[in-house]
Structure 1
Amino acid sequence: MAREECQALLDALHEATACYHHLVLPVGSVADSQNLREELQKTRQKAQELAGATCAALTAALRHRGLRAEERAEFERLWVAFSGCLDLLEADMRRALALGTAFPLREADGCFNEADLHDLERELLQVGEMIHDMEMKVTVPRWTVQARQAPGAELLSRTSTRASSVGGLSVEEPTGPCDPSKALAATVFSAVLLAAVALAVCVAKLS
């Protein structure tokens, strides 16, 4: 599979993962609802579908013995970005499972809540297995790969709607309640907030 097709899959996965992170945040709050849980379920399944396709494409590319050095460097960069994205997806799935268990839906929606949590547990195991299989099949030390541009630049630079077909898999911009640009901003904000809290704790302990 060409590098451009792998990049298209990875871009779509980044957007789906950012949307999933954005949707996990209100779980357990006053904004929680069955509609939110259903949207979480759909976004999670879309992200997993894209993750599986991206993993297969990159694994096949990196195991190809005919790759030139510069081509291998490009695919390794995509592999590291994919690996990090999958780690974030797994972390958010764990958070969704913990919050969904701690804050179940109302009694009227209990059947959906219980079934979805069972599905989430199973899918979380599948993501963990995918990460393990990746490490076994392809070895790409993250510290040896250099990024070509600042984190998030590829997503922020895209201003037009994109829809393409890669290996029979539809890859398109999400058009539901999750705006990718807002989702990405929420992800960055969350990371900055966590860093600020960690810094405050360290200062408090040292003072």
Structure 2
Amino acid sequence: MAREECKALLDALNKATACYHHLVLTVGGSADSQNLREELQKTRQKAQELAVAARAQLTAALRDRGLGAEERAEFERLWVAFSGCLDLLEADMRRALALGTAFPLHAPRRPLVRTGVAGGSAGVAARALSVRSLRHEAEGNFDVDDLRELEREILQVSEMIQEMEMKVNVPRWTVQARQTAGAELLSSASVRVSSVGAVSVQERTGPCDPNKALAATVFSAVLLAAVALAVCVAKLS
């Protein structure tokens, strides 16, 4: 039961980490906004909650001296996968910190495109600002506070990784994988090759077309007649 719970936690952590990585790639781009920063904050906090729960489960299991050899090997594989997720999460958090610092949301910018909107400032503001944009303006320091919180969370994840290595000594190079690297890709490629080969064999060994057979027979007869005529001409000359 503990192993299944660890697998479920790791699966959720892997999805959260992948989602966070995808969101980090859009920071500073055309899709960057406060909505994105809020989603980044929620996703990384969810990933950290899952990481804390998974670490507790794996640490308790691997420190159990009554654990069998097969069960221990499985938990060690889960531990290595968990460590990899944490490393990726920390790297993406550092990338988000660098990008968020380089591209602040509410920095004063000179408008590069004139929209053609004219009128008094009060009228333009009333038409342009919605309830959501007004809330974002009121929370103008959101990105600054979030970056400070992100710095603290990066330190927490780093400390978590160090504590893991101290409490449970599972060197990654000692854990054996169940299958060779790229086995899934090789298996799918072999399936495609076999299917293509089967189709080609069927095409070669399929029923003969009567029209093609007749054309081949006529061509052979004409070729033999030409060869015989050439021999006769050579003898007469």
TM-score normalised by length of structure 1: 0.71
User: What is the match of residue 141 of structure 1?
Assistant: 171
Going from structure 1 to structure 2, the CA distance change for 1:71 and 1:99 (only over 3 Å counts) comes to same
User: What is the match of residue 78 of structure 2?
Assistant: 78
Q: CA deviation at 1:148?
A: 2.3
Q: Deviations over 1:46-105 (max 9, x none)?
A: 000000000111001000010011010000000000001100000000000000001000
Distance 2:147 2:96 in 1: 9
Aligned-pair identity in percent equals 82
User: What is the match of residue 220 of structure 2?
Assistant: none
Query: Which one of the candidate residues 106, 111, 121 is aligned to 2:141?
Result: 111
Structure 2 gap ranges (5+): 108-137, 185-237
Query: Which one of the candidate residues 145, 155, 162 is aligned to 1:132?
Result: 162
The answer to whether structure 1 residue 5 and structure 2 residue 35 are counterparts is no
Distance 1:82 1:6 in 2: 10
Listed as ranges, the matches of 1:1-207 within 5 Å are 2-107=2-107, 110-149=140-179
Going from structure 1 to structure 2, the CA distance change for 1:104 and 1:41 (only over 3 Å counts) comes to same
Which aligned segments of 4 or more residues in structure 1 are displaced greater than 6 angstroms? 150-154
Q: What secondary structure does 1:110 align onto?
A: coil
Distance 1:52 1:152 in 2: 30
Distance 1:121 1:151 in 2: 35
| Greater Rg over alpha carbons, structure | 2
Going from structure 1 to structure 2, the CA distance change for 1:93 and 1:153 (only over 3 Å counts) comes to farther
State whether residues 104 and 110 of structure 1, in contact with CA within 8 Å, keep that contact through their aligned partners in structure 2. Answer: no
State whether residues 62 and 75 of structure 1, in contact with CA within 8 Å, keep that contact through their aligned partners in structure 2. Answer: yes
State whether residues 17 and 47 of structure 1, in contact with CA within 8 Å, keep that contact through their aligned partners in structure 2. Answer: yes
Letter of the structure 2 residue corresponding to residue 101 of structure 1: T
Q: CA deviation at 1:110?
A: 3.5
Q: What secondary structure does 2:65 align onto?
A: coil
Distance 2:181 2:141 in 1: 40
Q: What secondary structure does 1:30 align onto?
A: coil
Letter of the structure 1 residue corresponding to residue 34 of structure 2: Q
Q: CA deviation at 1:146?
A: 1.8
Q: Which has the higher contact order (CA 8 A, sep 6+)?
A: 1
Distance 2:90 2:53 in 1: 16
Going from structure 1 to structure 2, the CA distance change for 1:109 and 1:103 (only over 3 Å counts) comes to farther
Q: What secondary structure does 2:141 align onto?
A: helix
The count of residues paired between Structure 1 and Structure 2 equals 154
Distance 2:40 2:180 in 1: 29
Superposition RMSD in Å: 2.0
Q: CA deviation at 1:153?
A: 9.7
Q: CA deviation at 1:152?
A: 10
Q: Deviations over 1:104-126 (max 9, x none)?
A: 00257531001100110011110
Q: Deviations over 1:147-201 (max 9, x none)?
A: 22577999xxxxxxxxxxxxxxxxxxxxxxxxxxxxxxxxxxxxxxxxxxxxxxx
Going from structure 1 to structure 2, the CA distance change for 1:149 and 1:105 (only over 3 Å counts) comes to farther
Q: What secondary structure does 2:140 align onto?
A: helix
Q: Deviations over 1:127-151 (max 9, x none)?
A: 0000000000000010111222577
